[in-house]
Amino acid sequence: MGGTDVTDGWDGRQPGGYPAPAAGPAFGSPPQGTQSAGGGGASWPGSPPQGPQGAGGTGSPWWSDALADPWRDPYAPAAVVVSAAPADPASEPEPVSDPDAPGRPGLRQVVLVSLITALLAGSLGSALTYAFLHGGATAPRLGAQSGQAPALAQRKPESLAGVAEKVLPSVVTIRMASLGGVSEGSGFVVSGDGHIVTNDHVIAGGTGKATVIFNDGSSAPATVVGHDPESDLAVVKATRTGLRPVEFGDSDGLAVGDPVLAIGSPLSLANTVTAGIVSALDRTMQAGEPGGPTRYYAAIQTDAAVNHGNSGGPLVDGAGRVVGVNSTIKSLVADGQEAGNIGLAFAIPINQAKRITQDIIGTGKARRTVIGAQVGGTGVTSGGVRLNAVEPAGPAASAGLKAGDVVLRLDGHPLTEPTDLVALVRKYAPGSVVAVEYRRGSTRQNASVTLAADAK
C-alpha cells in the first residue's frame, strides 16, 4: 500500500523490524525480483513480509498490508501500531503553552488583588477597634450584667418613691407678702376647688394676699379663708379649680416606728421629700413667738428632716395618706439664731387639723375644745396637774371634779405639766368623752368627762 500496513489481529515484532511469523506450514517461497527502488509488494502466507526499505536499509514499520489480504475476516478487530522513533533533539516540536495552566499574573490582576487585600485589612481593623471600644475580649466588662430590675427600682405604689410620686402633685409652696417682706412656707391641697391647708405662722402678719406655686412650677393667686392662731392652722384658697386633693389618714392609728415622709419647701427648696419614722406620739407642745399667741397641741414627733420652709407641709404615712401637718422643730441654738434640723420635728395630728379646717371653711373660725377648768402654773411634785378652779356647769364640774383635785391621767396619758392637760384636751373634738383619773387627798378616783367647745 506504499508505506501503510495494517495489522490483522496480532502484533508481533522481530529484531530488525520484522514481526515474528505465525506458526504453521509454509505454502511456498516468495517470488524473486519483485522489489523496486521505492519498495513495496505483496506478502505471501507463511513467509516474512517484505516491507519497503528506507534509505538506511531499515524495514518499514508498516509491514503488513492486511487490508489487501483476500482471506482477511472483515469483522476481525484491527489496530494501527506505530513504532517509537529514536529521540532526535533537532526534530523536537515547538512547545505549546496550555491555556488552562497557571501563568504569571498581569498588571490588572495585581491591582485587583491589592485592592481586595486592602479592603479586607480595613474591615478587620475596624472590627477590632469596635470590639476594643465596646468591651470586647480585649477590654474588661464593667459591672455585673443585670436581669430584671430589682424590686426597689420598680417603684411600687407602696415604696417611698411611689408614695412621693402620689403626694407631690398635691403639695404647694405658699408666699405671703407682708410689711416686713415675704414669708414662705408649704401647704397641701384639701379640695379640688382650691382650698389649701398650711400653718398660721406662715400667713400671720401678711396682707391676706398670697401666691401659691404648684408642683409643676405654675402659680396662682390665693386669699386667706381663715386661721386659728392657738392651733397654728390656716386655710387659703387658690384661684384654680380641678386640683388634686390629698388623701387623709388616721393619726390616731399611728404607732411609734411607723415610716413617714415629710414633703415641702425647706429653705425655698420646693418639692423636697425627706423620710423618717414616728418617734413619739402625743408629744405635748407649747409654742409661740414673743408677744404672740401661745399654741398648744399634742404632736406627732418624727425624725424626718424638717427645716424652715417645711411649715404647713404634709406628713404622710407609708400609704401616702396625710397624717399630720409639719409645724415646728426643736433646736440647740440660742433664741434669735437660725435653727436647723437635728432630728426632732413635730406635726399637728391630721384628725385635729381636719376638724379645724372644716370649721374654718364652714364658719371662718375654729372651735376650741375645753374641759372647763383652770390649771396652775406648775405641776405637782408627785406627778399630775392640780386644778386651781372649776367652772360651774362646765365639763369638769359635770363629771364631779372640784378645785384642788390633781388630774393624773387623761385618756390613759400621764400628766406632769399644765401644758399636757391643755394640749391633750385640744386634741379631741368637742363632745368627745375622755376618761380622767384624778386624786383627791389620798384617794384615787376616775371620772368620764364630756368635753365641750369654747364659747368664743
What is the tens place of the pLDDT at every residue in 152-164? 566 777 789 999 9
Q: How confident is the model at residue 74 (pLDDT cuts 50, 70, 90)?
A: low
3-state secondary structure of 314: strand
- What is the grid cell recorded at 417? 405639766
Q: Which of 396, 369, 363 lies closest to 230, judged by CA?
A: 369
Residue of 5, 43, 170, 201 marked active site: 201
Residue 31 pLDDT grade (very low, low, confident, very high; cuts 50, 70, 90): very low
- Paired residues of 210 in beta bridges: 176, 222
Residues 166-191 pLDDT 10s: 999 999 999 998 877 888 999 999 99
Letter string b/e over residues 70-86, b meaning 16 or more CB atoms within 10 A of that residue's CB: eeeeeeeeeeeeeeeee
Grid coordinates given for 280? 413619739
pLDDT in tens, 357-395: 999 999 988 999 999 999 877 777 788 999 999 999 899
Q: What is the mean pLDDT of the chain?
A: 79
pLDDT at 446 over 80: yes
Q: Torsions phi, psi of 219, nearest 5?
A: -140, 165
Say whether 97 is catalytic.
no
Give yes or no: 216 in active site: no
Whether residue 166 contacts residue 158, with contact meaning beta carbons closer than 8 Å, is answered with no
Q: What is the largest CA-CA distance in the chain?
A: 188
What local confidence, expressed as pLDDT, does residue 88 receive? 58
Higher pLDDT, 293 or 16: 293
Give the pLDDT band (50/70/90) at residue 124.
Answer: confident
Full-model pTM: 0.67
Residue in 170, 251, 265, 311 annotated catalytic: 311
Q: Rounded to the nearest 10 degrees, how much is the dihedral formed by the CA atoms of 408, 411, 415, 418?
A: -100
258 assigned to active site: no
pLDDT confidence tier of residue 254, bands split at 50, 70 and 90: very high
* Phi-psi sector, 208: left (phi>0), alpha (psi -120 to 50), beta: left
pLDDT for 221 beyond 80: yes
**pLDDT value of residue 380:** 79
Kindly indicate the confidence band of residue 133, based on its pLDDT and cuts at 50, 70 and 90.
low
Q: Which of 10-14, 235-239, 330-334, 442-446 comes out lowest in average pLDDT?
A: 10-14
E strands along 288-372, which residues? Answer: 295-302, 314-316, 322-329, 345-349, 369-370
The better pLDDT of the pair 197, 116 is held by 197
| pLDDT above 90 (res 100) | no
Range from 15-29, 160-174, 293-307 carrying the lowest mean pLDDT = 15-29
User: Predicted confidence band at 319 (pLDDT cuts at 50, 70, 90)?
Assistant: very high
* pLDDT, position 288: 75
